[in-house]
């Protein structure tokens, strides 16, 4: 047993155990929370294993790369698995008080863990076809979580969510087939070698565009984001929170992996297109958020705008930009999940997600106001919170002048600053409407009796823990940014990844001819 394998086996075993104890609500709750806690422990073990720069490779069935199923854990994978486990544990604890008995009886915790297995598998796979498989595990589970309960708004949101993600999956599968036809392999490390030897690199760039559309749909970038704000506000809050934190980030991770390892032959075109997409994603997302007055729809549009910052870091393709991209990823997962969880608490107290129908929360629940203020100001980029340092790294990389895009990068840096101001404006709108203003006329006052002491502990506990983590990232940014820099260094040195996966061997070269399909120490 090793931490890479256990990151897949723990959620699988927990999901099966939850299904086998379907009649016992208490057993499912205990298993659901305990399984996430174990996954967090395993992810910490994995982080410790890769902290020295080691890249861990697991060959399932002892079939070597590029022929077998390979799992690879480098710094980026370990970071993503760790922050996913943190979010999963917070949501599992919150779910004990938030999810009703009917949904739990119909497999809520089991499908939550199946989804976590898909998320971890997507982060750890070393094969692009197996990435498709793990995406499907994650998406099928998320379909069930989206529909569980069968309420009309859920079903409307689920139809949009399912249809668009099925289109994305179809494009992904088609792109895998075309890529295999060109290279004869789907192992990521092997692709990194063979993609540089193709006779017609333009065909590879066209294939890259298919992957960009497929992953862009999953990451909700411009103009493919419209399904997200139409669906993420419909399921229970715990489901919204885990979706908001993790699912789009799997799409961003996939973009990072393929556009730093495989599709690097025409950087001016591919990354120039990513640069334009990043700017449009930031602007359209934040403008959508500014005009919203539904708590969760507003936060959903902000998912879109913040994805733009991550894509910007990838597009710039410098060490600082990629480090900022990675730092932004784990900052945003923590902050965005927390804001959705807080929206659920305000709904329990105030009876609505509509900002106009809420008010008086600062006077009634000052601690909840503080817990909202921390992630909200972090999302807006206020120092010394985590969002400030994430934005600072990306904007500094844009303005540094050492990118391949010259003044265009600086223009995007200015756009990122403007979007940050609009983000802060929309966060202050929530603060003013929900916490600062008095209770509107005709609206019931904040009902503090809506939560029992037990429910209050289960709902406030995860929110407080994520807020403390946000403060920790903000007050000790160098500690966290050091991990992001190491991840960026590995992404910019693909030879280390290739050597780790291919066993440290190189392609055979005999008589001046490269037999790039043959690997082995005997060459």
pLDDT in tens, 451-504: 889 999 999 999 999 999 999 999 999 999 999 999 999 999 998 999 999 875
Q: Is residue 186 in some structural domain?
A: no
Q: Cα–Cα distances in Å, from 13 out to 8, 33, 36, 39, 336?
A: 9, 13, 11, 11, 28
Q: Which of 133, 165, 120 has the alpha carbon at shortest distance from 147? A: 165
> Does pLDDT of 172 surpass 60?
yes
Q: Is residue 517 in some structural domain?
A: no
> Does pLDDT of 77 surpass 80?
yes
> What CA–CA distance (Å, rounded) separates 15 from 18?
5
pLDDT in tens, 296-336: 999 999 999 999 999 999 999 999 999 999 999 999 999 99
pLDDT at 351: 86
Q: Is residue 195 in some structural domain?
A: no
pLDDT at 522: 31
Contacts 24+ apart (CB under 8 A), 443-449: 443/350, 443/357, 443/358, 443/359, 444/350, 444/351, 445/360, 445/364, 446/349, 446/350, 446/360, 446/361, 446/364, 446/365, 447/349, 447/350, 447/351, 448/349, 448/364, 448/365
**Mean pLDDT across 92-112:** 92
Residue corresponding to tokens 């927390």: 338
Q: Is residue 387 in some structural domain?
A: yes
> What CA–CA distance (Å, rounded) separates 117 from 135?
10
Q: Is residue 450 in some structural domain?
A: yes
Helices 75-98 & 25-50, crossing angle to 10 degrees?
Answer: 160
pLDDT band at 252 (very low <50, low <70, confident <90, very high): very high
Q: Is residue 451 in some structural domain?
A: yes
**Mean pLDDT across 496-514:** 57
**Mean pLDDT across 232-260:** 92
**Mean pLDDT across 54-80:** 89
pLDDT at 68: 84
pLDDT at 516: 31
pLDDT in tens, 118-141: 999 999 999 999 999 999 999 999
Cβ within 8 Å of residue 88, ≥6 positions away: 36, 39, 40, 112, 116, 242, 246
**Mean pLDDT across 245-257:** 93
* Number of domains, the chain: 1
Q: Is residue 442 in some structural domain?
A: yes
Q: Is residue 514 in some structural domain?
A: no
Phi, psi for 55 (deg, rounded to 5)? -110, 115
**Mean pLDDT across 237-264:** 93
Residue bearing the bigger pLDDT, 424 or 516: 424
pLDDT band at 520 (very low <50, low <70, confident <90, very high): very low
H-helix segments, 21-151: 25-50, 75-98, 101-105, 108-124, 128-147
**Mean pLDDT across 211-220:** 92
0.75 exceeded by pTM? yes
pLDDT at 300: 92
**Mean pLDDT across 255-280:** 93
> Does pLDDT of 512 surpass 60?
no
**Mean pLDDT across 497-521:** 48
**Mean pLDDT across 154-173:** 86
Cα dihedral sign, 398-468-379-157: positive
pLDDT at 270: 92
> Does pLDDT of 382 surpass 60?
yes
pLDDT at 412: 93
Residue corresponding to tokens 């902290």: 51
CB atoms within 10 A of CB 265: 15
Strands 508-510 and 513-515 come out as antiparallel
> What CA–CA distance (Å, rounded) separates 227 from 162?
9
pLDDT at 199: 64
CB atoms within 10 A of CB 166: 12
H-helix segments, 229-318: 237-242, 248-261, 267-290, 295-316
Q: Which two tokens stand for residue 309?
A: 């910052």
* Whole-number average pLDDT of the chain: 89
> Does pLDDT of 370 surpass 90?
yes
Residue bearing the bigger pLDDT, 201 or 339: 339
Q: Which two tokens stand for residue 87?
A: 């979010």
Domain span at 412 = 315-480
Q: How many residues does the chain have?
A: 523
**Is 128:192 a contact under the CB 8 Å cutoff?**
no
């Amino acid at each position: 047993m090793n931490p890479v394998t256990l990151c897949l086996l723990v959620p699988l075993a927990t999901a099966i155990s939850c299904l086998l104890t379907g009649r016992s609500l208490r057993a499912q709750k205990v298993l659901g929370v305990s399984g996430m806690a174990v996954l967090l422990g395993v992810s910490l073990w994995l982080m410790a294993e890769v902290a020295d720069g080691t890249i861990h490779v697991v060959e399932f069935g002892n079939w070597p790369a590029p022929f077998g199923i390979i799992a690879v854990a480098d710094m980026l994978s370990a970071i993503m698995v760790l922050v996913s486990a943190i979010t999963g544990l917070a949501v599992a604890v919150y779910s004990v008080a938030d999810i009703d008995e009917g949904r739990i009886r119909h497999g809520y915790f089991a499908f939550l863990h199946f989804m976590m297995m898909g998320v971890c598998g997507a982060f750890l796979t070393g094969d692009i076809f197996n990435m498709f498989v793990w995406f499907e595990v994650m998406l099928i589970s998320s379909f069930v979580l989206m529909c569980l309960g069968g309420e009309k708004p859920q079903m409307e949101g689920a139809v949009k969510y399912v249809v668009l993600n099925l289109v994305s999956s179809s494009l992904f599968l088609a792109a895998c087939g075309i890529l295999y036809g060109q290279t004869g392999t789907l192992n990521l490390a092997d692709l990194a070698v063979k993609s540089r030897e193709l006779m017609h690199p333009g065909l590879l760039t066209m294939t890259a565009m298919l992957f960009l559309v497929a992953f862009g749909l999953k990451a909700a970038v411009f103009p493919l984001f419209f399904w997200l704000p139409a669906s993420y506000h419909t399921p229970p809050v715990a489901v919204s929170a885990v979706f908001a934190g993790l699912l789009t980030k799997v799409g961003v991770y996939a973009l990072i992996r393929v556009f730093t390892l495989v599709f690097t032959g025409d950087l001016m075109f591919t990354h120039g297109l990513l640069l334009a997409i990043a700017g449009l994603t930031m602007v359209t997302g934040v403008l959508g958020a500014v005009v919203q007055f539904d708590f969760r729809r507003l936060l959903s549009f902000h998912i879109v705008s913040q994805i733009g910052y991550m894509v910007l870091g990838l597009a710039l393709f410098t060490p600082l930009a990629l480090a900022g991209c990675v730092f932004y990823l784990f900052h945003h997962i923590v902050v965005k999940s927390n804001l959705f969880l807080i929206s659920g608490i305000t709904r329990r107290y105030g009876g609505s997600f509509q900002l106009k129908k809420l008010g008086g929360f600062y006077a009634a629940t000052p601690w909840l106001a503080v817990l909202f203020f921390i992630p909200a100001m972090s999302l807006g980029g206020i120092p010394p919170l985590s969002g400030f340092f994430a934005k600072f790294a990306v904007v500094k990389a844009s303005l540094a002048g050492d990118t391949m895009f010259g003044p265009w990068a600086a223009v995007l840096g200015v756009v990122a600053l403007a979007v940050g101001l609009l983000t802060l404006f929309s966060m202050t709108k929530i603060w003013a409407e929900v916490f600062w203003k008095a209770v509107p006329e005709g609206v019931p006052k904040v009902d503090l009796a809506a939560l029992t002491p037990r429910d209050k502990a289960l709902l406030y506990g995860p929110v407080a823990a994520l807020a403390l983590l946000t403060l920790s990232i903000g007050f000790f940014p160098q500690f966290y940014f050091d991990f992001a820099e190491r991840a960026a260094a590995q992404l910019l040195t693909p030879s280390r990844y290739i050597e780790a996966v291919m066993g440290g061997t190189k392609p055979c070269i005999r008589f001046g001819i490269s037999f790039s399909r043959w690997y082995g120490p005997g060459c």
